[in-house]
Amino acid sequence: MAHDKSDGSSTDGGCELLSSVDGGTETYRRLGLLLDVLSNCHRRFALYYLLEHEVATVEELTQYLLREYQERPSLEHGGGDFDAVHTALVHGTLPKLAGAGIVEYDTRSQMVRYRRCYTELPPLLAACATLEGVSVSVD
């Protein structure tokens, strides 16, 4: 439960939340959205690929994910065949990334384009990649 303070800010469980007048609330909202997106290995690995290639077909992403899952059997990926990974991409991963505004996903052409709309994403993704032992180039 948030408690308002006399300076216009509020606290929420020990975390200082700035009012929307300061732009702080938007920062917390964006960070929360990005951390939610990065909490799933399908989405992280799709973004690793898109960060380097910017544009890909769903088939290219599926093949990349299959290779990564085979190299990293400890990943919780829910299936190891092409159809399972493709289905997870089309019905879960890509709609979530598109809904967050991180990618453009054209269902007719099966093309995915990385959008550079969140300046906070590349460093967060690079930190995840380092922890997972994945090599990505962040520009």
Do residues 82 and 114 share a domain? yes
Residues for the chain: how many in total? Answer: 139
Same domain (yes/no): 78, 119:
yes
Residue 104, phi then psi, degrees to nearest 5: -105, 130
**Per the domain annotation, does 138 fall within a domain?**
no
Do 24 and 92 belong together in one domain? no
Same domain, residue pair 56 and 76? yes
In this structure, the answer to whether residues 96 and 51 fall within a common structural domain is: yes
Whether pLDDT at 107 is above 60:
yes
Does one domain contain both 30 and 56? no
The pTM score is: 0.77
Question: pLDDT value at position 20?
Answer: 39
On the 0-12 / 13-18 / 19+ scale of CB atoms within 10 A, 48 is buried
Report helix, strand or coil for 112.
strand
Q: Where are the beta strands (DSSP E) in the chain?
A: 2-4, 10-12, 15-17, 55-57, 103-106, 111-114
Domain span at residue 106? 41-132
pLDDT of residue 98: 96
Mean pLDDT calculated for residue range 75-94 = 83
Residue 67 lies in a domain: yes
Looking at the structure of the chain, the number of domains it has is 2
Instruction: Specify the range with the lowest mean pLDDT, choosing from 27-36, 39-48, 70-79.
Output: 70-79
